[in-house]
Structure 1
């Protein structure tokens, strides 16, 4: 089999959801005035991308300068890894009342939700890397979306040194944003969306 045919065959063997996701980036039409941002957050079993896994994903869409409240996603993932010591942080129990999906099912729904949107998060690289680790376990590539970090936006806005980071709680105090459902993926995504809009407008 030639190398060309191997690549051709490999592409055909991609699952349909992955092909649909990649197709979102193939359009060359100008969508600047219709740009969609998706602010998202993950709750995880820990901070090690190599060994920890996603417990939940919260995401919300933004068009222009408005949060679209019905453009919303919240997913809970079955806990193949359970760390009792992390429960006080995120509050997610191994056997809880929330409907839980397999990791694969959650990733498929997340990709279908974000499409080619610009991803926004506070310390977003960690969340992107956690999703990429899940994609790797599925034998797929990495996220192709552009991303923006509200911590880096704040650094630029305040002229802070590159290594001086700010927590989400601190930015809520600065912008007088009421914290609701803190340390849940959905709650943190909504709070981060409010912070993002304040920074974006400045």
Structure 2
């Protein structure tokens, strides 16, 4: 059985030390309008946390109930592992015109971008685990950000009691259909991140209609 040794903080690179410092003090931001959210998505070679790899990461910022189109990032990673069968889904080939970064450099840019934002993803546990596995492969810690799952939030709008064994999972396509969101950019990391951001705002609007939005209500 494998396990990870915890590094001494002094052994981490500077960018990781700066990231961890952001969480040393308790945040005073308590309302929706005060917080920076970041919707993100990963495209991967598959669904095996140990043997598959991230191909690209896309993310976009949300502040004060508005998507910040100028606040976004998209990075492509060098493909240590390549699966031809998945190209028709994400369109990312091992070689081509896209600028690809090493896994560690891509992670550095992503961590510097997200800072202490609250992260949003659809079926967030998958993206979180894929990023954490990549971080650990590069001798780093794990994500410290709080993470919201649009699938879980969407279930609340349907008045379903969410639990880990719930048979209803709600794909991102199903959210797009229900919330009337265009699927023109599906299956790219940046496109899915943007769709997730739109879905998040629509879901929040449904959940807190005619009410003051408080951060603790989302994180409960």
Shift of 1:179: 1.4
SS for the counterpart of 2:38 is: strand
Q: Deviations over 1:11-32 (max 9, x none)?
A: 2221101101101112335123
Q: 2:196 aligns with which of 171, 192, 196?
A: 192
Q: State the shift of 1:49 in Å.
A: 0.6
Query: Scaled by the length of structure 2, what TM-score is found?
Result: 0.85
Q: Is 1:182 matched with 2:186? A: yes
Query: 1:124 matched to which residue of 2?
Result: 124
Deviations 1:47-84 (A, max 9, x none): 01111010000000000210000000000000000000
Which residue of 1 is the match for residue 23 of structure 2? 25
Tell me how far 1:161 sits from its aligned partner.
4.9
5+ residue gaps, structure 1, are 1-6
Cα distance change on mapping 1:28 and 1:160 into 2, 3 Å: closer
Are residue 171 (structure 1) and residue 175 (structure 2) matched? yes
Alignment of 1:74-85 (within 5 A): 74-85=74-85
Q: Which residue of structure 2 lines up, in the alignment, with residue 12 of structure 1?
A: 10
Gaps of 5+ in 2: 1-5, 207-220
Alignment coverage as a number of residue pairs: 195
TM-score scaled by structure 1? 0.93
Contact 1:180 1:191 in 2 (8 A): no
Residues 139/167 of structure 1: CA separation in 2 closer, same or farther (3 Å cut):
same
Match of 2:51, SS?
A: coil
Tell me which residue corresponds to 2:209. Answer: none
Partners of 1:17 and 1:173 lie apart in 2 by: 40
Indicate the residue corresponding to 1:134 in structure 2: 134
* Superposition deviation, residue 140 in structure 1: 1.7
